[in-house]
Amino acid sequence: MNMRTAVITGANAGLGLECARALLADDPSWHLVLAVRDVTRGAEAVAKIGYPARCTVLQLDLASLLSVRSFAETLRAAALPPLHAIVCNAGLQVVSDTEYTADGFETTFGVNHLGHFALVDALLDDLVRPARIVVVSSGTHDPAKHTGMPSPNYTTAERLAYPDESGSPDGRRRYTTSKLCNVLFAYELDRRLGEGERGITVNAFDPGLMPGSGLARDYSPIGRLVWRYVFPLLRVLPNVNSTRSSGARLAALAADARYDGITGAYFEGKRQIRSSRDSYDREKALDLWETSAQLLMTSI
């Protein structure tokens, strides 16, 4: 049997874990690289989902560009099956304060966008066609959806990397703005890859609201209780999902034949829909791309 490798960031818990579980169960041709900050937790995740012979756990800290480069080098040296998919899944919310990455960038932007930008940049030449890149975003990037989260505020990528500290930090807005960055990045990457002509498809994915996931770990104690015990009662509403169901949909987008050739698209679960108005702003996408590339260069 021909084997293929997929890299999934943040695969030790939540959406990433369920994506890995579904991909392994649905298609025996896949070998998965669980790209995680804590390799012990990564090993525990493998024990939960099974298939240890088809899993490799590698350390990746998206808050460190040095770690991203080291991950890419380790992956190449690991003698795994050819790389055919990258799932940019890991993400966080920092709501209590302003934090910074090892390279001095605001952490929400640095992890949710820039770390994945660096990862794809490092691995792009290693992808064997046909290949897929899936970038996990969120419906919160779109103000028209009225998610209860503050609307994104994209001014320039430089200001996102180095925010003005004169006022109180708005961590929830930084999160929604980072999710807009995810879509801008996916669309710009797709354009630069010839919109599928080079054999690589790029799509963005909204998993919906997933109560019980680890995204609220920086919330207040009351906020965490509501997230864990009250929000699960909302699953009867549209686009409120379990991590298991959203993980299966993410795995399908990364591997299922029914998505062959589809690129430059945004998916809300199984449905291909239009993303926010700002996500199609090419000036913002170009600013994000060029600034991100410059930030990678200055960190070397």
Tens digits of residue pLDDT in 184-218: 999 999 999 999 999 999 999 999 986 755 555 55
C-alpha distances in Å from residue 264, one per residue of 7, 275, 297 = 20, 11, 26
User: Active site residue: 175, 187, 259, 266, which one?
Assistant: 175
Tens digits of residue pLDDT in 247-297: 999 999 999 999 999 999 999 999 999 999 999 999 999 999 999 999 999
Q: What is the pLDDT of residue 215?
A: 55
Output phi, psi for 275, to 5 deg.
-85, -170
Identify the CATH number of the domain in which residue 156 sits.
Answer: 3.40.50.720
> pTM for the full model?
0.91
Q: What is the pLDDT of residue 1?
A: 58
Q: What is the pLDDT of residue 99?
A: 95
154 is catalytic: no
Residue 265, strand partner residues: 203
Average pLDDT of each block of 10 consecutive residues along the chain (300 residues)? 90 97 97 98 96 97 98 97 98 91 97 98 98 97 92 97 82 96 98 97 93 54 46 49 92 98 97 98 98 93
Q: How many domains does the chain have?
A: 1
User: 281 is in which domain, residue-wise?
Assistant: 4-299
Q: What is the pLDDT of residue 233?
A: 38
**To 5 degrees, how large is the angle CA 24–CA 30–CA 34?**
70
